[in-house]
Amino acid sequence: MTRWTFDDIPDQTGRTAVVTGANSGIGYETARMLARKGARVVLACRSAAKGEAAVRTLRSEGAGAPGPAEGSVSVQGGVSTQGSVEFAALDLSDLDSVAAFAERFTAENDRLDLLVNNAGVMVPPFTRTEQGFELQLGTNHFGHFALTGRLLPLLERTAGSRIVTVSSAAHRIGRIDFDDLNWARRTYKPMAAYGQSKLANLMFTLELRRRLTAAGSAVRATAAHPGFTTTNLGRTAGAPVHFLERLVGMASHDGALPTLLAATDPAAESGSYWGPAHLFESRGAPVRARVSRRARDEAVAGRLWEESEKATGVTFAFTSNGGDSGGTGV
């Protein structure tokens, strides 16, 4: 594959995408580029103020017009023929918010072409979610697991749909500790907890692909990681991380390219994982990324799925919707 860039994103006109955590960083750039290619993009964010500000900025930059509920779709800035952007409230650390978002979105929409599970928290002080989970696992994994399960029926009714989950190179340091998933008995180590959540993200994608394939579903599940990208995610990570960001960090629009490739490129088959090409996958154009041995453990992935169902109360209603199980991406 030659160096993959924004220009390689296929036309997205007529497609609807939900991008979680799209008010800043990788999520914002993912939403911006999809809208510039013609997609209707829903910025699903916890903060209404930040989400609505991001929508205003995108529109002022010509990356999208108002969404269907907010006004007629029109060309802005000459960069999009049909693209639009809109905000919707979603707090992934609260399963009630996830359920409300999914119920509302499903009631108001007849298609969902792309779900980008991007939102995340990184190395915060120990905190619990509304349902009592450790914040990083609860937000990064359980929240997205529940969201995906609740939106799956709509995805399966949409030809060529995809689910992209953003993991991290830090998945390689992660371990799934089923005896203490939520750090109730261990001394809390923020980076280890982050690694566990990112390993869960990647294992979720691989197990989701297996289950979709077994059911004969045409929905495609892929994963990506941004490498070392300068975003707001690591604002609590400390001085060493900020130093590395200044030294080797990529801009957010470059860090979003692996996600966009996984979301749109016909070559990104179900189960594939994408990240930067160079410097131990920290920067560069997107290529196939390395999946750790732990992430490939199907027995652990199966148990994680079961534990996730118990934790969230969400089960996946897989159906056979025919067609190419790889999807089309266009």
What CA–CA distance (Å, rounded) separates 150 from 133?
19
pLDDT class of 166 with cuts at 50, 70, 90: very high
Using the CB atoms, write b or e for 71-85: b if 16+ within 10 Å: eebeebeebbebbbb
Residue 83 located in a structural domain:
no
What CA–CA distance (Å, rounded) separates 54 from 180?
37
pLDDT at 167 over 90: yes
Average of per-residue pLDDT across 234-260: 70
- For residue 7, with 0-12 CB atoms within 10 Å meaning exposed, 13-18 middle and 19 or more buried, which class applies? exposed
Residue 296 located in a structural domain:
yes
What CA–CA distance (Å, rounded) separates 312 from 306?
10
* pLDDT value of residue 280: 56
What CA–CA distance (Å, rounded) separates 84 from 38?
7
* pLDDT value of residue 243: 55
pLDDT class of 71 with cuts at 50, 70, 90: very low
pLDDT tens-digit map of 96-130: 999 999 999 999 999 999 999 999 999 999 999 99
- Give 230-261 as a DSSP string: --SGGGGS-HHHHHHHHHHPBPHHHHTHHHHH
- Give 155-185 as a DSSP string: HHTSTT-EEEEE--GGGGG----TT-TT-SS
Residue 85 located in a structural domain:
no
* pLDDT value of residue 160: 98
The half-sphere exposure of 38 on its side-chain side, counting CA atoms within 13 A, is 13
Residue 121 located in a structural domain:
yes
Query: Active site includes 194?
Result: yes
Residue 17 located in a structural domain:
no
Residue 138 located in a structural domain:
yes
SS3 at position 59: helix
* pLDDT value of residue 325: 41
* pLDDT value of residue 98: 99
List the one residue out of 43, 48, 89, 50 whose CA is nearest residue 66. Answer: 43
Catalytic option among 28, 188, 194, 273: 194
Q: Give the domain CATH number at 140.
A: 3.40.50.720
Percent of the chain with pLDDT strictly greater than 70: 83
* pLDDT value of residue 107: 98
| Count of domains for the chain | 1
Can you give the residue range of the structural domain that contains 163?
90-312
pLDDT class of 66 with cuts at 50, 70, 90: confident
What is the model's pTM? Answer: 0.89
State how far the alpha carbon of 137 is from the alpha carbons of 26, 42, 77, 156, 326, in Å: 19, 24, 40, 26, 29
The answer to whether 67 and 31 have CB atoms below 8 angstroms apart is no
Please state the length of the chain: 330
The answer to whether 210 and 152 have CB atoms below 8 angstroms apart is no
pLDDT class of 70 with cuts at 50, 70, 90: very low
pLDDT at 150 over 70: yes
Paired tokens of 191: 């980076």
> Rg of the chain over CA atoms, in angstroms?
18
Residue 192 located in a structural domain:
yes
pLDDT at 1 over 70: no
- For residue 239, with 0-12 CB atoms within 10 Å meaning exposed, 13-18 middle and 19 or more buried, which class applies? exposed
* pLDDT value of residue 277: 77
pLDDT class of 328 with cuts at 50, 70, 90: very low
Who has greater pLDDT, 80 or 83?
Answer: 83
* pLDDT value of residue 172: 96
Average of per-residue pLDDT across 218-236: 78
pLDDT at 299 over 90: yes
pLDDT class of 241 with cuts at 50, 70, 90: low
pLDDT class of 323 with cuts at 50, 70, 90: very low
Residue 30 located in a structural domain:
no
pLDDT at 246 over 80: no
